[in-house]
Every structure is written in C-alpha cells, then in structure tokens.
Amino acid sequence: MTVSKEVIETILDRILLTPVKLYALMVSQRPNHTLIEIELDQLDHPYGSVSLLECEQVSRKLNEELEKISPDLNYTLKVSSAGAERKLVIPEDLDRFRGIPVRLVYKVEGSGNKEGIFKILDRKGGKIILEPFSKRKSAASKKKEVNLELKDILKGNLYVSI
C-alpha cells in the first residue's frame, strides 16, 4: 500500500494551523515502505523556526490521519523545521525577511557570479536594496547600500551569525 504526495498535502492543508505552514514535502516510495519528510515554516518567528512541540503536534495528527486512510501503510515520518539557514524563496522571502542577514549568490555583469552577506533594507519593483553585513562593529560606519536587480539573484538563504 502506498500514499501519494497529493493525499499528504490535502491532509496537511486540513491540520496545519496558521502561523505554521508547509515549507517542503518529500515522499519517497520504496517497495513496501514510504518515507515522508516534512519541513515546516512558522510565519510569526523572525527566522521561521518551528518549535519541537509544533513538529510533534503535526506528526501526531498526520499519523492519526494516515492510520485512518491506510492502516496497512508501512512508513517513516520525519517532521522538522525548515531551518534557520533555509533556502530563500525569491522574491517573496526578500520582503518577509527584511532586516535579517541573508547570503546571496548573484550575477555581476562581466564578473561572473559573486556571493555576499547582506541585510535586506527594501524591495522596489524589480530591485532590492541591501546593506553589506558585517559582525564587526567598526565596519558599520563604512557600509554602503547595494542595489541588485531581482533577475540577477541566483539563490539565497538566511544567514545566522554566531
């Protein structure tokens, strides 16, 4: 017996309560076994981190629903937070994580790809306004705004500095 990704998404739509939402779902079917991996997002947390309790609640409710529809299903369920250094969904996350350090890989005309750590200041149309991020306090006075075209951003993730 197997269960489809669509069926699991439908169940999650019913059981996830705002501010917790689905970030990623992976379903791997193997003979006689299914691996279900769920990553959650917490819309009220500055970094989107989900608590262990929230993961437990989703896991328990999903287990109950899967038992109802497919009691013979042999599966492993992993429910976790999307993570503090999660991949960004661009451009949506650029608004959501304003003021938080992000690592971006972007195209520079004639120079290839560059990588940098920035704080998101604003987004206006197809441009994003950034401030270079530095852990050193002395560097704060030298910071200049950086303007990038959204189309030039290749990928990004949240950056947690320690």
Domain boundaries along the sequence of the chain: 5-81, 92-158
Q: Which CATH number fits domain 5-81: 2.60.40.10, 3.20.20.70, 3.20.20.140, 3.30.70.1350?
A: 3.30.70.1350
Helix residue spans in the chain (DSSP H):
5-15, 52-69, 92-96
Q: What is the mean pLDDT of the chain?
A: 91
What single-letter amino acid sits at 139? A
Beta bridge mates, 147: 129
CB atoms within 10 A of CB 152: 17
Half-sphere exposure of 43 (CA within 13 A, CB side): 9
Reduce the DSSP state of residue 125 to 3 states and report it. Answer: coil
pLDDT tens, 125-162? 899 999 999 876 655 556 689 999 999 999 999 998 76
Mean pLDDT in residue range 21-29: 95
Pairing of strands 101-108, 112-124: antiparallel
Burial class (CB in 10 A: 0-12, 13-18, 19+), 150: middle
Least confident among 65-69, 71-75, 117-121, 141-145: 141-145
Reduce the DSSP state of residue 110 to 3 states and report it. Answer: coil
Report d(CA 13, CA 87) in Å as an integer: 22
Contacts of 135 (CB under 8 A, 6+ apart): 161
Q: Is the pLDDT of residue 46 over 60?
A: yes
Which string of b and e fits 104-131 if b means at least 16 CB within 10 Å? bebeeeeeeeeebebbbeeeeeeebbbb
pLDDT tens, 101-120? 999 999 988 888 999 999 99
CATH code of the domain occupying 92-158: 2.30.30
CA-only gyration radius of the chain, Å? 20
